[in-house]
Amino acid sequence: MLTKTKSRGADALVRALEQAGVKRIFALSGNHVMSVFDALVDSRIELLHTRHEAAAVHMADAWARLTGEPGVVLVTGGPGHANAVSALYTAQMSESPLVLLSGHAPNDQLGMGAFQEIRQAEMAATVTKAAWTSQSADAVAGDVARALRTALAGRAGPVNLNLPSDALHGATDSGRTLRKEDLAPEATPVDATAAKTIVERLARAQRPLVLAGPAGLMPRGRTRLAALEEACGVPVVGMESPRGMADPCLGAFAEVLAQADCVLLLGKRLDFTVKFGQPPTFPADCEFLQIDPEEEEIDRARHAVGARLTLVAHADVFPAIDALIAERHAARPHTAWLAEVRAAVAYRPAAWASARASRPGCLHPVELARPLQAVLDSDPDAVLVVDGGEIGQWAQACLNAPRRVINGVGGSIGAGLPFALGARCAEPRAPVIAVMGDGTFGFHAVELDTAVTRKLAFVAVVGNDARWNAEYQIQLREYGAERARGCEMRELRYDRIAQAFGAWGEHVTAADEMLPAVRRALASGLPACINVAIEGLAAPQFAR
Ligand SMILES: Cc1ncc(C[n+]2csc(CCOP(=O)(O)OP(=O)(O)O)c2C)c(N)n1
Ligand SMILES: [Mg+2]
């Protein structure tokens, strides 16, 4: 349907985003995109302006993971775009749908040495599903629809659309109204015979497992995976950590994985997180089945395990789950094995119950994390954010919440604080608890300003060991204490930094202060930083 209204490309962009149901844009201003800021004045879309482009991307990433809707980011061209690109990697590896809209030098000056002219699409190409540059004002609305559709299709992920300033300023009378089919990605269904065969193979196996990728751990994914486990009687385990099967939230899972005789990769990449499917991580004769939306991933698995990959289906994960559930009559419950896998995943060393720091004035990481579970359990909609090195591993080991945002398979640190802001945008009411290291906190600490200004409350719990401890531990293990250099930091009062921004700040140096401090922070209604002095210990180990 066409309506004849003459307007700028920037207006067409905003109209298209409104039609797509976008409610909020995470942004940072710049010459190239001020026309879009102007167009947004007359729209219902909230402009949430931030203090760093990478932080804006991380906020959109957390929003996308929690809502299932694409996060939308708007930054300026050249350096603004370059700053944003680094954060796309985390979203890409976490299969998080988002669209980075970047201003861009005008098309009619390209190659002439225009202001902030760089090859932006090429720069973003390796960390996105697609990256391109709009050719004219008339093309903008259609490009936006394609970007949103692509971000959601198949294996979800980030997309970059570059918007040259002449396309944004230029007049367009296309007045294109987006239709539902312009926005919805087309799903690739799994073949019913393949679904039945997969369920039969899992039924026939003695110790079958279904491994799901990061998309399976988003709120929508968790519900579907639980339904699949229930219907087929086969343990379903989601993986989203760079430590793979050694993710501390999976307890002693590695022990049962090493016994599996048939593994269905359900959108789970056969990558470094599962040691490329090789023994001893898997038995040498373990059979693999795979459902994946990307041929490239199927090829990768074939290359890794050869003929042990006995059945593949090129299909989208969520419709495939429904297809598998529909074949439940062919399933066989593996009750004992399921209980064994669940017990392994739930395993935590008994000694943790009495874990104490070895010196006064600081907490054992378990003493920092454990009290937070009560807060997470107090509300079914509570969100747990985890980021950082060793402290992140301790938090993942000790805490669980059905709505969780972690730094993910990309293993990049620094997103924790912006994740907390994005989570608060997605969840207006329930507690948002974000555990991170002192190094991690520093990356985007100034976003506390954004949080205070926009009234986005959360509790950031900073495990302060005055170190980049994860790397320090590598130095200790591999090079010796006498060669440990370059990973030390000062024991700073991050709580006072928070107070200076008008946020809530607490300094915790003893275990019994932990929960009262968090409760005061929650009661303040402000964004908060609980700066917790901890003993910098190596990440937890789970061998039973
Ligand atoms: C963007 C990025 N830079 C560097 C690293 C390497 N790295 C991983 S963990 C870590 C230390 C993190 O320190 P902190 O947040 O204080 O947590 P800690 O390990 O001390 O508990 C570093 C530097 C990384 N993973 N990502
Ligand atoms: Mg640290």
Give the CA-trace dihedral at 180, 103, 58, 453, to 10 degrees.
Answer: -100
Per-residue pLDDT, 182:
81
CB-proximal residues (5 Å) to ion ligand 2: 437-439, 465, 467, 469
CA 389 – ligand 2 centroid, Å: 7
Give residue ranges with CB within 6 A of ligand 1: 388-391, 411-414, 437-440, 463, 465, 467-471, 536
pLDDT digits (tens, 9 = 90+) for 40-53: 999 999 999 999 99
Q: Which token pair is 206?
A: 């003695």
Binning pLDDT at 50, 70 and 90, where does residue 100 land?
very high
Let me know: does 93 contact 214? Beta carbons within 8 Å.
yes
Q: Which atom of ligand 1 is nearest to the CA of 440?
A: 15
Going by alpha carbons, the residue nearest to atom 20 of ligand 1 is 469
Helix (H) or strand (E) holding 211: strand 208-212
Q: Which of 403, 402, 394, 408 is nearest to 461 (CA)?
A: 394
Phi and psi at residue 50, in whole multiples of 5°? Answer: -115, -175
Work out whether strand 171-172 and strand 7-8 pair parallel, antiparallel, or are unpaired.
antiparallel
Give the span between the Cα atoms of 98 and 365, in whole angstroms.
33
CA 465 – ligand 1 centroid, Å: 12
Q: Which atom of ligand 1 is nearest to the CA of 465?
A: 20
Q: Which token pair is 530?
A: 């609980």
Give the 3-state DSSP-derived string for 100-135, with helices as H, strands as E and coil as C.
EEEEECCHHHCCCCCCCCCCHHHHHHCCCCEEEECC
What DSSP line would sit under 337-364, residue for residue? HHHHHHHHHH---GGGGG---SSTTSB-
For 430, residues 6+ apart whose C-beta sits below 8 A from its C-beta are 379, 380, 381, 382, 383
Task: Name the burial class of residue 349, with classes exposed (0-12), middle (13-18) and buried (19+) by CB atoms within 10 angstroms of its CB.
Answer: middle
To test the ligand 1 pocket, which listed residue (413, 472, 492) has its Cβ within 8 A of the most ligand atoms?
A: 413
pLDDT digits (tens, 9 = 90+) for 419-455: 999 999 999 999 999 999 999 999 999 999 999 999 9
242-271 b/e (C-beta count within 10 Å ≥ 16 → b): bbbbbbbbbbbbbbbbebbebbbbbbbbbb
Let me know: does 176 contact 143? Beta carbons within 8 Å.
no
Going by alpha carbons, the residue nearest to atom 23 of ligand 1 is 468
The pLDDT of 7-33, averaged and rounded, is 96
The residue assigned the tokens 């395993």 is 347
Per-residue pLDDT, 2:
38
Q: Which of 69, 70, 103, 97 is nearest to 84 (CA)?
A: 103
Q: Where are the alpha helices (DSSP H) in 126-252?
A: 140-152, 165-169, 180-183, 192-204, 219-232
Per-residue pLDDT, 6:
63
Q: DSSP secondary-structure letter at 467?
A: B
Per-residue pLDDT, 4:
43
The residue assigned the tokens 């429904």 is 322
Query: Would you mind telling me the total number of residues written for the chain in this entry?
Result: 544
Q: pLDDT averaged over the chain?
A: 95
Q: Which atom of ligand 1 is nearest to the CA of 388?
A: 15
Ligand approaching nearest to the C-alpha of 437 = 1
CA 401 – ligand 2 centroid, Å: 23
Give the span between the Cα atoms of 137 and 52, in whole angstroms.
28
- Can you give the pTM of this predicted structure? 0.97
Give the span between the Cα atoms of 50 and 64, in whole angstroms.
17
Binning pLDDT at 50, 70 and 90, where does residue 184 land?
confident
Give the span between the Cα atoms of 535 and 472, in whole angstroms.
13
Q: Which token pair is 196?
A: 């039945």
pLDDT digits (tens, 9 = 90+) for 443-486: 999 999 999 999 999 999 999 999 999 999 999 999 999 999 99
CA 257 – ligand 2 centroid, Å: 31
Q: Which token pair is 40?
A: 């947004």
CA 467 – ligand 2 centroid, Å: 4
Give the span between the Cα atoms of 25 and 69, in whole angstroms.
12
pLDDT digits (tens, 9 = 90+) for 285-343: 999 999 999 999 999 999 999 999 999 999 999 999 999 999 999 999 999 999 999 99
Per-residue pLDDT, 438:
98
The pLDDT of 101-113, averaged and rounded, is 94
To test the ligand 1 pocket, which listed residue (443, 468, 488) has its Cβ within 8 A of the most ligand atoms?
A: 468
Q: Which token pair is 369?
A: 């994390």
Phi and psi at residue 247, in whole multiples of 5°? Answer: -55, 120
Going by alpha carbons, the residue nearest to atom 13 of ligand 1 is 468
